[in-house]
Chains A and B, each alone.
Chain A
């Protein structure tokens, strides 16, 4: 559903801008950048692509400026994705160097896009440095790590639109939205995270044992058991829905109906998915119980 208060983002214009920035790279690096861009497109990455556009529209910023910040976000997103792929060993051995080189180039291009928007002495640059330093120092997968690049663009929009006073509300909204999205990722990706030895919030809520590769079979059984016999799914998805709804209310408050609508949809979808997941696992538990104990249960109290 396209939010009503903002025109549709010209995704094609952003892709063109991306192509222009990578055109200076060698052909092999360009191909790697293009392949990575394909993996971080909307709708899965809607917030990363649309946040500056929606905020810019709500705060009366010139569309060309908002588009420039969207382009910076997308360049930064691809750079970060490549960096994560290297750390997660998801890049072939002979492409690691290229991935690191492309990531650095795109990251530099993402920062350069702010050059014409802020004077050399503007406080924005010190804030950017501090945010990126904190981001680099934060544990992988932490909310601070996930949120910093998004916040840079949103902060820039607030400053350029002379809405610095609104920043605390925008930041609170983003913190809630990012918490919701991180939790949602953990709920949907827990099996892959477990296999890869990555920390996962749902797994942490269900098991006391460390989330190590050696413990993965036992931990998988514990999570499945929690899903089959307890409210793990509805609790987890319910918290996503609650945080997304609170973020949507904040977005309404500072006037971005488009952002609010998006977050409300995220929340409503999570609530419905929570019910579907819970129903699935409870049904599996009921089938298993009927299979093994059906005759005993129908035979009275034993």
Chain B
């Protein structure tokens, strides 16, 4: 192929992708299950363990001390609303 280009190499730190997948699972669960959202907020270690996920100490500190859960709770409802399939199929 004439137009083939080698994609640029992105130098992600070791473990980045695994961590991203863990976060995506936790975040997706928090969107589809309000109880899990509250569990993650109140007890991130226990909530992660529920999904057989182990978080690092730094990530636990981040979830306990740095995340603005009240702000996230408000935005999360918009995401939950968008999960209704009609939001996609209405345009068909």
A interface residue numbers (CB < 8 A to B): 188, 190-191, 220-221, 224-225, 227-229, 273, 276-277, 280-281, 284-289, 291-293, 295-297, 299-302
Q: Does B4 contact A (CB under 8 A)?
A: no
The listed residue (B14, B28, B63, B88) touching A288 by CB distance below 8 A is B28
Q: Closest CB-CB distance, A15 to chain B, in whole Å?
A: 26
- Establish whether residues A191 and B28, one from each chain, have CB atoms under 8 Å apart when the complex forms: no
Count of interface residues, chain B, beta-carbon cutoff 8 Å: 38
The residue in chain B whose Cβ has the minimal distance to the Cβ of A192 is B85
Q: How far is the CA of A229 from the CA of B20 in the complex (A)?
A: 12
- Establish whether residues B13 and A293, one from each chain, have CB atoms under 8 Å apart when the complex forms: no
Q: Closest CB-CB distance, B75 to chain A, in whole Å?
A: 6
Q: How far is the CA of A291 from the CA of B30 in the complex (A)?
A: 11
0/1 interface trace, chain B 36-62, chain A, CB 8 Å (1 if under) = 000010000000000000011011001
**Using Cβ atoms and an 8 Å threshold, which residues of chain A touch B33?**
221
- Establish whether residues A293 and B82, one from each chain, have CB atoms under 8 Å apart when the complex forms: no
The listed residue (B14, B19, B27) touching A292 by CB distance below 8 A is B27
- Establish whether residues B79 and A284, one from each chain, have CB atoms under 8 Å apart when the complex forms: yes
- Establish whether residues B82 and A284, one from each chain, have CB atoms under 8 Å apart when the complex forms: yes
The listed residue (B56, B79, B84) touching A287 by CB distance below 8 A is B79
Q: How far is the CA of A205 from the CA of B82 in the complex (A)?
A: 22
From known contacts A191-B84, A221-B32, A225-B28, infer whether A291 and B66 are also in contact, taking CB-CB under 8 Å. Answer: no
- Establish whether residues B13 and A292, one from each chain, have CB atoms under 8 Å apart when the complex forms: no
**Using Cβ atoms and an 8 Å threshold, which residues of chain B touch A221?**
29, 32-33
